[in-house]
Amino acid sequence: MERAGSRLRMLAFVVAFMFVALSTRLWFLQVLAGPQHDRDARDNSLRTVTTDALRGDIVDRAGRRLVRNRISLEVRINRDELGDDREATLANLSEILGVPAQDLGEALDTKLYYSYQPVPVAEFVPEEVYFKIREEPEKYPGVEVVEQSVRAYPQGSLAAHLVGWVGQISADELDAPRFSGYGPSDTVGKAGVEATYERWLRGEPGEERFLVNSDGEVLREFDPKPPAPGHDLQMALDLDVQRIAEQELEAGVKRARTVWDESSGSSLAANAGAVVVLDPKTGGIVAMASWPTFRPSWFVRGLTEPQRETLFESPQAPMLNRATQITYAPGSTFKPFVALAAVKEGLASLGGYYDCPAEYVHPGDESGAIFHNWDGTGAGTLSIASGLKISCDTQYYKWGSDFWFRDAATNKEELQRRVRQWGFGRDSGVDLPAEASGTVPDRKYVADHRSVYPDGWIPGIDILLAIGSGEMKATPLQVAQAYGALATGKLCRPHLVSRIEDGGGDVTKRVGGHCRKIPYTQAELSYIREALRGVTEGGTASTVFSGCPLDVAGKTGTAERPPFQDTSWFAGVVPAEDPQYIVLATVEQGGFGAETAAPIVRNIMSRIYRVPCEGPELGSSED
Amino acid sequence: MDLVAGRVYADERRPIRHVDVFLLVVVGLLLLAGFFLLYSATNQTLKQDHLDPFLRVNKQMVTAAIGIVLILLMATFDYRFLKVYASFIYAGVVLSLILVRVPFLGSSAAGAQRWFEVAGFQITPSEFAKLGLIVMLAASLSELKHSVPTMQDVIRLCAITLVPLILVFTQPDIGTSIVMVAIAAGMFLVAGVRGRHLASLVVICLVLIAAAFQLGVIKTYQLDRLRAFLDRENTPADVRYNLDQAEIAVGSGGLIGQGYLHGRQTTLDYVPEQHTDFIFTVAGEEFGFVGALFVLLLFALLLWRAIRIAYLSKDPFGTYLATGVAIMFAIQMFVNIGMVIGIMPITGIPLPFLSYGGSSMLASCLGVGILLNVHMRRFK
C-alpha cells in the first residue's frame, strides 16, 4: 500500500486546492465586492414608483400666463408585462403610431429605467391611438397611454430669454449636488427663470415604495407620498411693455441697417440688441428684450435639425440674452458716474466750469497720443451739466488724467472705487442664470491681462475709463441698474420674479426690494438728473425727443468697438421729476447713440404712456 | 469475541474501540448546520402558503434520523461482506436505474426520468448508484492480479463504470454523471493505473462529450447553463438569473453576514432552488464570509478524516472504498459550492448533508457508514 499512500497524498493535494479556490473566490465575492452586492440585494427588492409633480406656472404682474402646462398623451411600455410578445406588440404599435418598429425597439432598450418601470416610446400621440389600444388590449400587452404634462407658451416667443426652457436632465447635472434626488428621466429648467427657480417650480414628486419578492408580489407597501405641485412664479414683468419693447427693439435694429456708416464705409450691421425697462424704486424688471430671439416651444417636442443649427450654431446666437450675458463698453452713458466721482474726490465741483477743447494730451506725455472730442470740435468752457448735454469728451479726459496722477501718489484707485459704487464690475444679482459681471479696469486687471495692456499701467487707461471706453465693460442691465440708482438714490438688485405662490395662491416668498443707499447727496443726484434732462432738451438727443411731451432725462452713448462698428446706447429716466421707469436700449454695431438707440427708447416711452411722440425714426448722428 | 463479522479480534483491535468519533462529530455538526440553513431558506415560503414553517426541516430531520440508523447499521457488519456481495449490489443499482426509466414506475420532471415515488418519499436511484459504483470498482481493483493494472483491466473497469454512467447521463443527470466520472478517475489514479491509460481515457471522454453535443443528447437548458457560465455578459437574463441571484446573495453577506433569518435575498425568496442545490447561499448571505468558511472547514475536516481512513486501512479494498467515498464528497462539495459562487457551471449537484432531499442524505450517510466501518476494521 506504499504506492497507494503517495497517490492518496496527491488526492489530498487536489482536495486542498479545491478549498483554496473556493475560499479565494468567497473572499472576492463577499469581502471585496460585498458592498456592491449588498446594494444589488437592496435594489432587487425595493421598488420605487414616482409620480411627477405638476410644474408651476409663470405669470406676469397682472397674472397673465407666460408659461403653463398642457397635456400630452404618451405611450409607455412595461417590459416585464411585455414578455414574449415583444415583436408582435411593437409591430402592432408601429402600425397605429406610424413609427418604425425598430425605433420603438430602440426606445424600449433604454437603460434609464428598471425593468418594472414603464418606458415611454412615443409622445404627443393623437387621441385615436388611445382608443385603438383600449379597443384591442390583447394586441398590446404591457402598453399604456398616459397623460403627461408638458410646457406650453401661450405668448409664443414673447420673453423667451426670460422664461427660458426646460429639458431632460443631463448627465452632468445629474451628478451635481443641487440635483440630488433627481432621476435620469426628469425634466429640469435649462435657462431663464425656469432654471433659476427650478427648486420652486418643480414641486415634490410623489413616491410609492414597495417591498417585493422574487415573483414581484408586493409584500409590504410603505406610506405613499402624494406629489406636491410646484409653486407659481409671478413676475415683475408687464406683458404689454414686454411686447412693446420687443417690437421696438426689432424695428429699431432693422431701421439702423438702412444707415450708411462713414467710418466703416458700409451700412450699419446692427446684428443684435437689447432693451431693459426697469422700475427704479424696486429693481423690478418691467421688460427685458434681447434680439435676435427664439421660440421656447421648439424645445417641447425636441429640436429639429434646422432649429438646432439656428439655436446653437448660427453666429447670431439667438439664445444669448444680450441684456445680461454680453458686456459692452458703456461709452458716454458712463459719464454721469465719472462726473460725480470727480466732484466727490474734489477734482471738480457742481458750480465749476471746465475746458472743453477739441483735443487733449496727457500732461508730460511725449508718446504723441492725442485724445479727441467725438465731433472733433471744441466748445470753450462748460459747466458739468453743459458738458453732459453735448457729451464733451475732453473734460472727462482731463479728469481721467487727474485721477491717474492722484492714484500715482496715493495708490487708492479712487475712480475705480467710485464707479463700482454704482454696481459696475460685479454681478447685478438678477435672477437669471449665467450673468456676466463686466469689468472696471484697475491695476490688478491690467496685471492679469498683459496681452491687452502691453504697456502696463498707463494714464490712457484712466483717461478712456472716464468716457466709459477701452476695457470698461458692462451689461445693459448693469447700466440700467446704475441709472435707477441715479434716479432714486438707491441701488436695487434687479429681479424678474416678484412673488412665489403655492398652489393655493398664498405667497411663499417675495423677491425684490433689495436696495441700498448710494453715498451721494440729493443735491448731487438732482443736479445730474437736471443735466440729463438737458440732453433731451437741446442736447445730443434733442432732435429725437423734440416732439415728445414726456419729461425725459437721458444720456446717449456711442462706444467704439474696433474692428466692429460702434455700439449705440441710450439710457432714459421717465418722468425725470418722479422716476417711474428706466428705459435703456443698446444696439450692437448700431452707430451713434442718438441715431439708433435713442429713437427705440423714445418709441417705447411713447407707447407705455400712450402719448404721441413726434420725431425722426432715425435720430441724429450725435454721441 | 466479536461474532458479528464472523472473526475473532484481539482485544485492543475490537472494532467498537476504533469508532472514528471525530468523523461522527463533524457529520453531526454538518447535519445541525443544515437544519438551520434549511429553516431559513424555507420558512417564509411555507408561511406564505399557510403551512407549518418547520415542515421541511422536520422532514429533513426524519431523513437524517434514518441516515444515522443507516450509519450504525453499516458499521455493525464487516465491510468485507460488501466485497462478497459487490456484484449483487452493482446489478441491483443498474436494475434500478433501468426501472426508473420505465414509465409509470419512475417519475419525471422537466424531461428527466429520475426517481421512484414510494410512500410520499422520492427515491433517486442515481444517488445510490454512486455508492454501488464505488463498491464494485473497489472490489474489482482489490482483486487485480498485477500491481499495475493492465490494458485489459482498465477496459474492464471502464465497462463497469460506463454501464451506470450512461444510464444516469441519459436521464439526463449531468451532475451525477460528473460525480461518477470523478469517482472512477480518482479511484483509477489511486489504484495506480498507468499515466498513458489515464490520458487515453481523458481523450475518449472528450470525444464522447463532443459526440453527446453533436447527437443532441445534451438538452438546450443545459447548453444555456454552460453558456451562462462561460460567457456571462451575453447570456439572456432568465438564464443568468440563478447565477446572479446566488452571487448577490452570497456577496451581500459581506464579512459577517446579514444575521440569521435576515438575509434579504433569502427571506424574499430571490434565489431559485435555494433549499436544495443553492442551500450554501443561505450560509453566505446570513453568516457572511466567516460562516461560509465555517461550512468549508467542516467539509475539510470530513475529507481529511476520509482520506486518512483510506490511508490507514491495511486492506486494499478498504482503501479503495474510502477513497471512492472521499472523492464523492469532495467533488460534490466543490462543484456545488463552486456553482453557487460562480466558478462552476450550474449542474444540479446537491451539497452533502446540507441540501434538502432524502436520497442524497441517505446516500451520504451510507458513505459515512462505509468510512466508519473501514476505520473500525482497518487492521488485516
Longest CA pairwise span in chain B (Å): 67
- Tell whether B343 lies on the interface with A, counting CB pairs under 8 A: yes
**Helices (H) then strands (E): counts for chain A:** 22, 25
Task: Examine the domain organization and report whether B306 and B337 are in the same domain.
Answer: yes
Task: Examine the domain organization and report whether B151 and B249 are in the same domain.
Answer: no
Domain assignment present for residue B308? The answer is yes
Task: Examine the domain organization and report whether A90 and A219 are in the same domain.
Answer: yes
Task: Examine the domain organization and report whether B295 and B378 are in the same domain.
Answer: yes
Min mean pLDDT across B34-48, B127-141, B260-274 is at B260-274
Is a pLDDT exceeding 80 seen at residue A215? no
Task: Examine the domain organization and report whether B213 and B348 are in the same domain.
Answer: no
Domain assignment present for residue A499? The answer is no
Query: In the prediction, which pLDDT does B162 show?
Result: 92
R_g over Cα of chain B: 21
Query: In the prediction, which pLDDT does A1 show?
Result: 47
- Tell whether B286 lies on the interface with A, counting CB pairs under 8 A: no
For residue A384, what is the enclosing H or E element?
helix A384-390
* Closest residue, chain A, to B182 (C-alpha): A11
How far apart CA A566 and CA A559 sit, in angstroms, is 5
Domain assignment present for residue A502? The answer is no
Report in angstroms the alpha-carbon separations of A520 from A213, A337, A524, A574. 73, 11, 6, 21
Domain assignment present for residue A34? The answer is no
Q: Cβ separation of B190 and A212 shorter than 8 Å?
A: no
Distance of CA B270 to the CA centre of its chain: 25
For residue B330, what is the enclosing H or E element?
helix B316-340
Task: Examine the domain organization and report whether B167 and B292 are in the same domain.
Answer: no
Q: Which of B163, B189, B218 is the last residue of a domain?
A: B218
Task: Examine the domain organization and report whether B237 and B368 are in the same domain.
Answer: yes
Full domain range(s) for residue B38: 20-76+229-380
Is a pLDDT exceeding 60 seen at residue A588? yes
Residue with more model confidence, B347 or A58: A58
Nearest to A38 among B190, B252, B270 (CB): B252
Please check whether residue B349 is in contact with residue B178, taking contact to mean a CB–CB distance below 8 angstroms: yes
Task: Examine the domain organization and report whether A260 and A218 are in the same domain.
Answer: no
Residue with cell 492679469: A448
Query: In the prediction, which pLDDT does B1 show?
Result: 38
Q: Cβ separation of A19 and B192 shorter than 8 Å?
A: no
The residue among B295, B297, B293, B289 whose CA lies nearest residue B254 is: B289
Task: Examine the domain organization and report whether B290 and B340 are in the same domain.
Answer: yes
The alpha helices in A70-151, defined as continuous H runs, are 79-82, 86-97, 101-108, 127-135
Task: Examine the domain organization and report whether A65 and A116 are in the same domain.
Answer: yes
- Cis before residue A336, ω within 30 degrees of 0? no
Task: Examine the domain organization and report whether B61 and B130 are in the same domain.
Answer: no
The residue among A548, A551, A590 whose CA lies nearest residue A569 is: A590
Query: In the prediction, which pLDDT does A609 show?
Result: 96
Which residues on chain B are in Cβ contact (under 8 Å) with A30? 250-251, 253-255, 284, 288-289, 292
- Mean pLDDT in residue range B139-151: 87
- Tell whether B46 lies on the interface with A, counting CB pairs under 8 A: no
The residue among A493, A507, A496 whose CA lies nearest residue A163 is: A496
Q: Cβ separation of B289 and A35 shorter than 8 Å?
A: no
CATH number reported for the structural domain that contains residue A91 in this entry: 3.90.1310.10
Residue of B147, B190, B255 to mutate when probing chain A, most A C-beta within 10 A = B190
Q: Which of B152, B186, B218 is the last residue of a domain?
A: B218
Please check whether residue B38 is in contact with residue B57, taking contact to mean a CB–CB distance below 8 angstroms: yes
pLDDT band at residue A144 using 50, 70 and 90 as cut-offs: confident
Q: Which of A200, A233, A266 is the last residue of a domain?
A: A233
The residue among A434, A73, A64, A435 whose CA lies nearest residue A232 is: A64
Task: Examine the domain organization and report whether A557 and A471 are in the same domain.
Answer: no
Phi, psi of A249 (to 5 degrees): -65, -45
Query: In the prediction, which pLDDT does B113 show?
Result: 62
Q: Cβ separation of A26 and B307 shorter than 8 Å?
A: no
Residue with cell 431559513: B40
Domain assignment present for residue B369? The answer is yes
How far apart CA A261 and CA A565 sit, in angstroms, is 8
Longest CA pairwise span in chain A (Å): 130
Write b or e for each residue in B37-74: b if 16 or more Cβ atoms lie within 10 A of its Cβ, otherwise e: bbbbbbbbbbeeeeeebbebbebbeebbeebbebbeeb
Domain assignment present for residue B3? The answer is no
Residue with more model confidence, A548 or A222: A548
What does the pLDDT look like over A546-579, one tens digit per residue?
989 999 999 999 999 989 999 999 999 999 999 9
What does the pLDDT look like over A459-471, one tens digit per residue?
999 999 999 999 9
Domain count of the fold of chain A: 3
Domain assignment present for residue A178? The answer is yes
Q: What residues contact B138, with CB distance under 8 A and at least 6 apart?
A: B82, B83, B86, B187, B317, B320, B321, B323, B324
Domain assignment present for residue A426? The answer is yes
The residue among A430, A515, A522, A535 whose CA lies nearest residue A478 is: A430
Task: Examine the domain organization and report whether B305 and B236 are in the same domain.
Answer: yes
Looking at the DSSP assignment, which residues form a beta bridge with residue A274? Answer: A290, A586
Task: Examine the domain organization and report whether A69 and A180 are in the same domain.
Answer: yes
Q: What residues contact A103, with CB distance under 8 A and at least 6 apart?
A: none
CB pairs < 8 Å spanning A and B: 130
pLDDT band at residue B110 using 50, 70 and 90 as cut-offs: low
The residue among A454, A428, A582, A581 whose CA lies nearest residue A515 is: A428
Task: Examine the domain organization and report whether A74 and A136 are in the same domain.
Answer: yes
Average pLDDT of chain B is: 88
Give me the amino acid identity at B260: Y
Q: What secondary structure does DSSP assign to A531-557, as a single string?
A: HHHHHHTTSTTHHHHTB--S--EEEEE
Domain count of the fold of chain B: 2
Is a pLDDT exceeding 60 seen at residue A298? yes
Helix B21-48 crosses helix B280-312 at what angle (to 10 degrees)? 160
Q: Cβ separation of B192 and A31 shorter than 8 Å?
A: no
Specify the length of chain B in residues: 380
Task: Examine the domain organization and report whether B162 and B286 are in the same domain.
Answer: no
Is a pLDDT exceeding 80 seen at residue A256? yes
Please check whether residue B195 is in contact with residue B167, taking contact to mean a CB–CB distance below 8 angstroms: no
Q: Which of A214, A233, A252 is the last residue of a domain?
A: A233
DSSP class of A284:
B
DSSP class of A179:
G
For residue B213, what is the enclosing H or E element?
helix B195-215
Task: Examine the domain organization and report whether A521 and A559 are in the same domain.
Answer: yes
Which residues on chain A are in Cβ contact (under 8 Å) with B326? 11, 15
Is a pLDDT exceeding 90 seen at residue A157? yes
Q: Is A586 helix (H, G, I), strand (E, B) or coil?
A: strand
In this structure, the dihedral spanned by the alpha carbons of residues B361, B363, B366 and B370, taken in order and rounded to 10 degrees, is -130
Residue with cell 409509470: B104
Q: Is A141 helix (H, G, I), strand (E, B) or coil?
A: coil
Task: Examine the domain organization and report whether A103 and A60 are in the same domain.
Answer: yes
Query: In the prediction, which pLDDT does B126 show?
Result: 92
- Mean pLDDT in residue range A487-516: 90
How far apart CA A40 and CA B169 sit, in angstroms, is 37
Task: Examine the domain organization and report whether A273 and A312 are in the same domain.
Answer: yes
Is a pLDDT exceeding 50 seen at residue A415? yes
Distance of CA A544 to the CA centre of its chain: 31
Domain assignment present for residue A484? The answer is no
Q: Which of A191, A217, A233 is the last residue of a domain?
A: A233
Task: Examine the domain organization and report whether A153 and A271 are in the same domain.
Answer: no
In this structure, the dihedral spanned by the alpha carbons of residues B266, B271, B274 and B279, taken in order and rounded to 10 degrees, is -70
Average pLDDT of chain A is: 91
Count CB atoms within 10 A of the CB of residue B134.
Answer: 29
What does the pLDDT look like over A271-290, one tens digit per residue?
999 999 999 999 999 999 99
- Cis before residue A575, ω within 30 degrees of 0? yes
Q: Which of B177, B198, B218 is the last residue of a domain?
A: B218
Domain assignment present for residue B5? The answer is no
Question: Is the ipTM value over 0.85, yes or no?
Answer: yes
Full domain range(s) for residue A356: 331-478
* pTM, two decimal places: 0.65
Domain assignment present for residue B83? The answer is no
Task: Examine the domain organization and report whether B270 and B379 are in the same domain.
Answer: yes
Q: What residues contact A502, with CB distance under 8 A and at least 6 apart?
A: A231, A232, A508
Query: In the prediction, which pLDDT does A285 show?
Result: 97
Question: B151-155: which pairs have CB atoms within 8 A and are 24 or more residues apart?
Answer: B151/B197, B154/B188, B154/B193, B154/B197, B154/B201
Task: Examine the domain organization and report whether A418 and A349 are in the same domain.
Answer: yes
Domain assignment present for residue B119? The answer is yes
| Grid cell locating B228 | 451562462
Residue with more model confidence, B73 or B109: B73
Task: Give B322 to chain A, closest Cα distance, Å.
Answer: 11
Tell me whether residue B115 is exposed, middle or buried, using C-beta atoms within 10 angstroms of its C-beta: 0 to 12, 13 to 18, 19 or more.
buried
Task: Give A42 to chain B, closest Cα distance, Å.
Answer: 7
Count CB atoms within 10 A of the CB of residue A425.
Answer: 19
Phi, psi of A223 (to 5 degrees): -55, 125
Give me the amino acid identity at A620: S
pLDDT band at residue B2 using 50, 70 and 90 as cut-offs: very low
Domain assignment present for residue A2? The answer is no
Task: Examine the domain organization and report whether B101 and B72 are in the same domain.
Answer: no
Domain assignment present for residue A403? The answer is yes
Task: Examine the domain organization and report whether A141 and A275 are in the same domain.
Answer: no
CATH number reported for the structural domain that contains residue A407 in this entry: 3.40.710.10
How far apart CA A622 and CA A592 sit, in angstroms, is 6
Domain assignment present for residue B2? The answer is no
Domain assignment present for residue B360? The answer is yes
Write b or e for each residue in B336-352: b if 16 or more Cβ atoms lie within 10 A of its Cβ, otherwise e: bbbbbbbbbbbbbbbbb
